Amino acid sequence: MNKITPIIITLLLSFTVNAQFNKTYFKKLNSKRVESTDLVEWRQVGPGMSGYCEEFWCHPTDKNVIMMSPDMFNTYGSWDAGKTWSTVKDADGEGKDLARVRKFMFSYQNPAFGFAITGGGKLYKTLDTGRSWKEVHTFKGRHSEITVDPSNDKNWYIGPGDFWNVKKSWRHINGQAGKVNKNAIYRSTDSGKTWQKFKVGDSEKIDVGRIVVDPNNSKVIITITNQGVFRSTDKGKTWKPSAKGLQVNRPRDLDAYFDKNTKEFILYLVDQTAFVGNGKTITSKGGVYKSTDSGKTWESITGNLGVDLKEISTKALQNRYWKSLSYWFQTSVKDVRTKYPELPTNVLDIWHRIQVNPTNKNEIYLSHNTKHDKAFLMGDAWKSKDGGKTWIAVARTGLYWKNNKNKAYWESRNNPTNTNTTFAHLQPEMDRRENSWGNRFLELSVDGTAYICLDQQVLASKNGGETWQQIDDNETAPGSKRWVGRGGSNLPGRFMLLETGIKDRYLLTSGEHGLWQTAPLGNYPEKMEVAVEQLEGQVHHGGAHSAGTVAVHPNNPDIIYFLSYRQNHRGKLRRSIDGGKTWENISTIFAADTPAHERLVFLNSLIIDPNNAKNMYFCATKKPISQVAGPYAKSLTKGDYGFYKSTDEGYTWKLSMKGFHPNASIRRVVMDPKNPETLYAAVNDDNGGLFISKDKGDSWKEVKISSEIKNVNNIFIDRNTQDMFISTGNENGTDIGGGVWKSKNKGNSWERIFKLPYVWQCETSPVNSNIITVSAPLAHRAKAKNEKLNSGAYVSMDSGKTWNKINKGLGQHDRIVDLKPDPYREDVFWASQKGSGWAIGYLKGTKKGWSEK
């Protein structure tokens, strides 16, 4: 065991006052907010976004300030135009703050002052350009919009509804899917201190999408809703319909252009595409419109946006088209194909976003979501550079464009046919597929930079859409396929295997993006960063995307196994015998008669007997607590929950539950470091406990622990001291034995060394047993306030005598699914987060990057 270095001793002395392990400290921890120390500095490990992002907003006056709130409930800010990102969530809050922000907005007069509204109606305020936020109000119901009067930042407006829920708020001939709020628009005339409510139109319920205040006249406001376009001339007190010139009046998005010098004010609107039967085919209404009289009247600038589907010879597009018609007419695909068998020669797609370049009124962008919004056309963003007369597909990705399909038709429209999007690790997958990425947002910065999100990656164009580059990752060197994240990950992090038989190769599992390994930085200048490369997932056509747990053969580090729980190869054990270059399925353990995107059981603790590699074990957890929620397969056609063992290197598996109580939920399994025949299992259901097997998992017996403990979430055994640690508690905060318990005598007696209502994990350092890490999530269903305090990462450098909360820099301190000390260095820590990827933590004062020798 290594001795503690002088720098660590100094740090211990400096923090002892803050975190004495005694009743006083834990009483404070369980009763009031405790601030994180700066003992550990966290930085995100790549890859970048790797998850859907619909909420992405640029500051209206500062091109360098960008905010985003992806779908994994993390929220980031950038103050250098996307070169780097940092979490803006409160490091010592509950962790639920700023979740799925629907819009950020900043003052035009005071760029540091702004508001953010979440889908759940929570209003946050910033006075430091978005670096920190404070919750100031909660509105009932769903909310989708907030805006400010560009000429007076005392005037703010909030719109209720679920307008931007692209997976649920689809439009059809009879109306709209999804939920809507009671009719209201909220107004504040005192910079958000107080709010008044005003009704819009006659409907009892309404869905507000955008609110725009005329910069030339603060009394005039235009809003788009599910009930159409409305206009107010008295600062929002009263509203009248204002849709003269619109064909459909079911607006999808609204943007505005304003020239400060000439005072020219133009509104741009995209209307819902409506299909109308016309003999054996259909015609379409809707399109793009502008208003030059502050929303009184509208004129079409749809131009040549319609396309001739007879000229586009791709079955994928045609299938999407029939599905779109089917949904619009609320009937079956078979019925619409029978009734309207001929493809239309001039049809509009389903467009859902519009943006105008703040520096050029004639440069207009559109986007559609072919994956989630019933759209069907290729090209993920379209653009007009002549004010709407002509349009081209300006973001072109995938096999359709690579193969120059229907080249003559696109050239007749003066539309380039080359691919012009560049991705990071997803590039191979993007090049293999046709075109169904699902653009989630469209946003233009004050300098005209355009941003989109294609298949979970954020891209930017600084040259008017000629080319697009992913802004989530930095490649260590051109062509290396090794990536350093920029700090804005939306990756579902899972288990981290840090000891793999190769010292510098750590294996990192993830949801939706497969299996990764750490990689050399090469000549990359920032040596404190960590580079990663994908071993399995999108890098291989048809690869497994959701890896739950991974293990390495004890005698051959080139043999790697992992279990997949969702998407391609779900329920199977995958194996590579060449260090991850190629993969094969060697067994199918679980199956269900449901779509592949649904989750089967969650799989944990894949371990291999170091003395006999034929023996392998894992557990299928019945009560998952740290995994990403649903959708789940409701019933299995193969497999069940519990402890599994194999005696033939993973080819066949047996469920072995003898000695467990009925419906036991086994969350973790570990092997005794001194005796591989002895296994321990942590059972986390409400009848949970700690179990031991002395016959390689054939039978189990409950270990006596404190009667206070209700749920055991994790078991860890220090290889050097043989001390055992169990992590306990539940999300309701009802387990009075919650915390971390330690046994120095193989489980004969236990003492509590850490006390919070809910703890997921505790581990010690392999090189210094005095270093202990603890992951404590939010007990989010607890009723008592004190049971929701101080979730996050903790470290003790003195065997649990004193503790430090170390959340600073983590994107999701309340959802750390794996936390552990580095196996080779005392000054490095690792964290995996439910939706913010992986992170490396350096002890304060560390100057040497992890990859430096």
Distance of CA 140 to the CA centre of its chain: 25
Q: CA 265, CA 805: separation in Å to the nearest integer? A: 52
Q: CA 588, CA 572: separation in Å to the nearest integer? A: 4
Q: CA 655, CA 639: separation in Å to the nearest integer? A: 8
Q: CA 12, CA 417: separation in Å to the nearest integer? A: 62
Q: Shortest CA distance to 700 belongs to which of 714, 680, 715?
A: 680
Instruction: Tell me the pLDDT tens digit for each residue of 136-168.
Output: 999 999 999 999 999 999 999 999 999 998 888
CB-based contacts of 263, cutoff 8 Å, min separation 6: 215, 216
Among the three residues 455, 471, 487, which one is the final residue of a domain in this structure? 471
Q: Shortest CA distance to 453 belongs to which of 70, 846, 847, 65?
A: 70
Structure confidence at residue 22 (pLDDT): 67
CB-based contacts of 232, cutoff 8 Å, min separation 6: 219, 220, 221, 222, 223, 238, 239, 240
Judge if 459 and 519 occupy the same domain.
no
Secondary structure class of 257 (helix, strand, coil): strand
Among the three residues 432, 450, 471, which one is the final residue of a domain in this structure? 471
Any domain includes 852 = no
Q: CA 318, CA 320: separation in Å to the nearest integer? A: 5
Judge if 319 and 445 occupy the same domain.
yes
Which amino acid, one-letter code, is at 802? Answer: T
Which domain covers residue 254, as residue numbers? 250-471
Judge if 435 and 502 occupy the same domain.
no
Structure confidence at residue 688 (pLDDT): 95
Instruction: Tell me the pLDDT tens digit for each residue of 674-733.
Output: 999 999 999 999 999 999 999 999 999 999 999 999 999 999 999 999 999 999 999 999
Q: CA 175, CA 380: separation in Å to the nearest integer? A: 26
Any domain includes 631 = yes
Judge if 646 and 745 occupy the same domain.
yes
Judge if 461 and 489 occupy the same domain.
no
In Å, what is the CA distance from 699 to each residue of 526, 678, 691?
51, 11, 10
Secondary structure class of 675 (helix, strand, coil): coil
Judge if 599 and 737 occupy the same domain.
yes
Q: CA 474, CA 644: separation in Å to the nearest integer? A: 40
- Burial status of residue 41 (CB atoms within 10 A of its CB: 0-12, 13-18, 19 or more): middle
Structure confidence at residue 729 (pLDDT): 97
Q: CA 732, CA 757: separation in Å to the nearest integer? A: 9
Instruction: Tell me the pLDDT tens digit for each residue of 95-112.
Output: 999 999 999 999 999 999
Secondary structure class of 92 (helix, strand, coil): coil
Judge if 648 and 745 occupy the same domain.
yes
Quickly state the pLDDT bin for 4 (edges 50, 70, 90): very low
DSSP of 554-591, one letter per residue?
Answer: SS-TT-EEEEEEESTTTTEEEEESSTTSS-EEEEE--B
Q: CA 689, CA 672: separation in Å to the nearest integer? A: 17
Judge if 494 and 401 occupy the same domain.
no
Judge if 452 and 560 occupy the same domain.
no
Quickly state the pLDDT bin for 181 (edges 50, 70, 90): confident
Judge if 450 and 521 occupy the same domain.
no
Mean pLDDT of 455-478: 95
Judge if 701 and 793 occupy the same domain.
yes
Please say whether the beta carbons of 434 and 455 come within 8 A.
Answer: no
Alpha-helical (H) ranges within 433-487 are none
Structure confidence at residue 20 (pLDDT): 39
Judge if 637 and 749 occupy the same domain.
yes
What CATH code is carried by the domain that includes residue 491?
A: 2.130.10.10
Q: CA 653, CA 651: separation in Å to the nearest integer? A: 7
Any domain includes 96 = no
Structure confidence at residue 162 (pLDDT): 92
pTM: 0.94
Inform me whether the pLDDT recorded for 45 exceeds 70. Answer: yes
Instruction: Tell me the pLDDT tens digit for each residue of 248-302.
Output: 999 999 999 999 999 999 999 999 999 999 999 999 999 999 999 999 999 999 9
Distance of CA 183 to the CA centre of its chain: 31
Any domain includes 92 = no
Any domain includes 582 = yes
Distance of CA 131 to the CA centre of its chain: 20
Mean pLDDT of 22-41: 92
Structure confidence at residue 15 (pLDDT): 39
Which of left, alpha, beta for 651 (phi over 0: left; psi -120 to 50: alpha)? alpha
Distance of CA 182 to the CA centre of its chain: 30
Any domain includes 309 = yes
Q: Omega of the bond prior to 47 within 30 degrees of 0, cis?
A: yes
Q: What is the mean pLDDT of the chain?
A: 94
Inform me whether the pLDDT recorded for 788 exceeds 90. Answer: no
- Burial status of residue 846 (CB atoms within 10 A of its CB: 0-12, 13-18, 19 or more): middle
Total number of domains constituting the chain: 2
Helix (H) or strand (E) run with residue 549 in it: strand 546-552
Among the three residues 438, 471, 504, which one is the final residue of a domain in this structure? 471
CB-based contacts of 22, cutoff 8 Å, min separation 6: none
Please say whether the beta carbons of 822 and 765 come within 8 A.
Answer: yes
Instruction: Tell me the pLDDT tens digit for each residue of 755-776.
Output: 999 999 999 999 999 999 999 9
Q: Find tokens 């439910």 and name the residue.
A: 834
- Burial status of residue 478 (CB atoms within 10 A of its CB: 0-12, 13-18, 19 or more): exposed
Question: Which residues, listed in sequence order, are joined to residue 503 by a DSSP beta bridge?
Answer: none
Any domain includes 129 = no
Q: CA 301, CA 389: separation in Å to the nearest integer? A: 6
Quickly state the pLDDT bin for 13 (edges 50, 70, 90): very low
Inform me whether the pLDDT recorded for 462 exceeds 80. Answer: yes
Please say whether the beta carbons of 136 and 124 come within 8 A.
Answer: yes
Inform me whether the pLDDT recorded for 16 exceeds 50. Answer: no
Any domain includes 231 = no
Q: Find tokens 């201190």 and name the residue.
A: 193
